[in-house]
Amino acid sequence: MRVGLVGLGVMGWRIGVNLKNSGKLDVVYNRTQSKAQEFSERYQVKSASSLKELVQDSDFIILMLSDDTAVRETVTSMIPMLKGKTLIDMSTISPSLSMELAIEVSKVGGKMYDAPVVGTSIMVEQKKLTVLVGGPEEGFREVQDLLMSTASSVLYMGKNGMGLYAKLVNNLLIGAYVASMAEAFNLGVRSGLDPKQVAEFLAKYSSARSPTSEIKAGKMATRDYSTQFATKHMRKDLEIIDREAQKLGIINPMSSLALQLYRMAEAMGFTEEDYVSVLEVFSRK
């Protein structure tokens, strides 16, 4: 089984390292070729000079790309070559787009899975990711075996699109949660509490503490906005939730409000920074 990886950003690079260390990575490709060359030199994995070359050299193709546009462009250009191949898309994109692409892939005799992840870049390094898989059940075991090289749990959620819907459930919650944490943190600090103490309280003792507060509270205390998950990606996920909620005819007041706050953080210049930078929206007032 030959495995190719497309997308060597924050997550893709680290996933690539895990796959390579498990002996399960044969070839990489990245839009900005210099990143793929750097990966190739560091880890002795072939760098394909084109997507076509990567597809030819792979039976399983893993994608870890930013958004709908990136996945649509990449998959569309691959479709004619996907007969007998399995495409595993780990990007967080619209479930409707993923389902549409899966149909096109199956028409040429290929298989597609949506396989978005829960967890940050640190959790990839620790192999503590959870992967939420949607797609044909009969090929799931092979997908699971492969992804267990970079995750602690690989869960089958149902047909195409269901992995992504499960991921949106998670990100609705953490998007609203971190925005609420920022508001609470700002209240604490502005009332005169020590920022480090408020952070420690949120991470360790609050009745609403969570794995997310453990990771993010310390970053709030030190205004450390180094990127684990970029504000632009959280904004993108909340936009997907908004569109899907409209299609489903449901209300989504919490995520709509959070979306506006992350948009404000982007307008203040924090697009590429970690989404915990939403704190600035509160603390500058």
> Min. distance of Cβ 285 from ligand NAP in angstroms?
28
Q: Is 238 in the site for ligand NAP (CB under 6 A)?
A: no
Residue 105 vs 215, nearer CB to ligand NAP:
215
Q: Dmax over Cα atoms in the chain, in whole Å? A: 63
Q: Is 120 in the site for ligand NAP (CB under 6 A)?
A: yes
Task: Give CB contacts under 8 A, 24+ apart, made by 135-138.
Answer: 135/102, 135/111, 135/159, 135/160, 135/163, 136/111, 136/160
Residue 155 vs 195, nearer CB to ligand NAP:
155
Beta strands 60-63 and 86-89, pairing class: parallel
Locate the DSSP E strands across 122-217. 130-134, 153-158
Which one of 17, 70, 164, 281 is in contact with ligand NAP (CB under 6 A)?
70
Site residue total, ligand NAP (CB under 6 A): 25
How many residues can be counted in the chain? 285
Q: Is 125 in the site for ligand NAP (CB under 6 A)?
A: no
Examine the residue annotation and report whether 167 is marked as an active-site residue of this protein: yes
Stretch that binds ligand NAP, among 59-67, 136-144, 145-153, 263-271 (CB under 6 A): 59-67
Q: Is 78 in the site for ligand NAP (CB under 6 A)?
A: no
Q: Is 11 in the site for ligand NAP (CB under 6 A)?
A: yes
Stretch that binds ligand NAP, among 63-71, 79-87, 177-185, 197-205 (CB under 6 A): 63-71
CB 120 within 8 A of CB 229: yes
Q: Is 66 in the site for ligand NAP (CB under 6 A)?
A: yes
- Taking only Cα atoms into account, the Rg of the chain, rounded to an integer number of angstroms, comes to 20
Residues 6+ apart with CB under 8 A from 3: 19, 24, 25, 26, 27, 58, 59, 60, 61, 62, 146
CB 238 within 8 A of CB 171: yes
Which one of 1, 21, 32, 80 is in contact with ligand NAP (CB under 6 A)?
32
* Residue of closest CB approach to ligand NAP: 9
CB neighbour burial string for 28-66, b if at least 16 within 10 angstroms, e if fewer: bbbbeeebbeebbeeeebbbbeebeebbebbebbbbbbb
Which one of 39, 201, 229, 282 is in contact with ligand NAP (CB under 6 A)?
229
Active site (catalytic) residues: 167
Contact residues for ligand NAP, defined by CB under 6 A: 7-12, 30-32, 35, 64-66, 69-70, 73-74, 91-92, 117, 120-121, 228-229, 233
